[in-house]
């Protein structure tokens, strides 16, 4: 729904009611749900120790850009050059 349509079809009282409702019973945060699911899958996979599993916030994108040095960028790119299947548990 566009802002123009919203303003044409909804008065301030109804908007206030919806805002109050959202404050009390907010709609689900899909990023948070996905982040929690990522952690659960990592735990269930058995490939990670308890302290190695990152916080949910790691899986939620942010508008803050992380500055990397040239050496850090090269190190990340080198990770992509691994051979297919390298580092994957073959016991499936």
Q: What is the pTM of this model?
A: 0.43
Residue-number span of the structural domain to which 43 is assigned? 3-80
Per-residue tens of pLDDT for the chain, all 92 residues: 888 998 899 998 999 999 899 899 888 888 889 999 998 998 888 888 878 888 888 888 876 667 889 999 898 888 888 766 665 555 54
What are the tens digits of pLDDT across the range 2-17?
Answer: 889 988 999 989 999 9
Residue 55 within any structural domain of the chain: yes
Domain membership flag for residue 31? yes
CA distances from 29 to 5, 13, 41, 52 (A): 25, 25, 19, 25
Q: Is residue 92 part of a domain?
A: no
The pLDDT assigned to 54 comes to: 85
Which string of DSSP letters, residue by residue, matches 72-86?
HHHHHHHHHTSPTTT
Query: 74 lies in a domain?
Result: yes
Q: Is residue 62 part of a domain?
A: yes
The total number of structural domains that make up the chain: 1
Domain presence at residue 90: no
């Amino acid at each position: 729904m566009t802002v123009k349509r919203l303003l044409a079809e909804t008065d301030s009282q109804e908007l206030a009611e919806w805002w109050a409702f959202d404050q009390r019973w907010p709609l689900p945060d899909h990023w948070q749900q996905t982040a929690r699911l990522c952690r659960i899958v990592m735990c269930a996979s058995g490939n990670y120790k308890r302290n190695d599993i990152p916080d949910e916030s790691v899986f939620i994108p942010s508008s803050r850009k992380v500055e990397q040095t040239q050496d850090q960028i090269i190190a990340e790119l080198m990770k992509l050059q691994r051979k297919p299947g390298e580092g994957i548990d073959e016991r499936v």
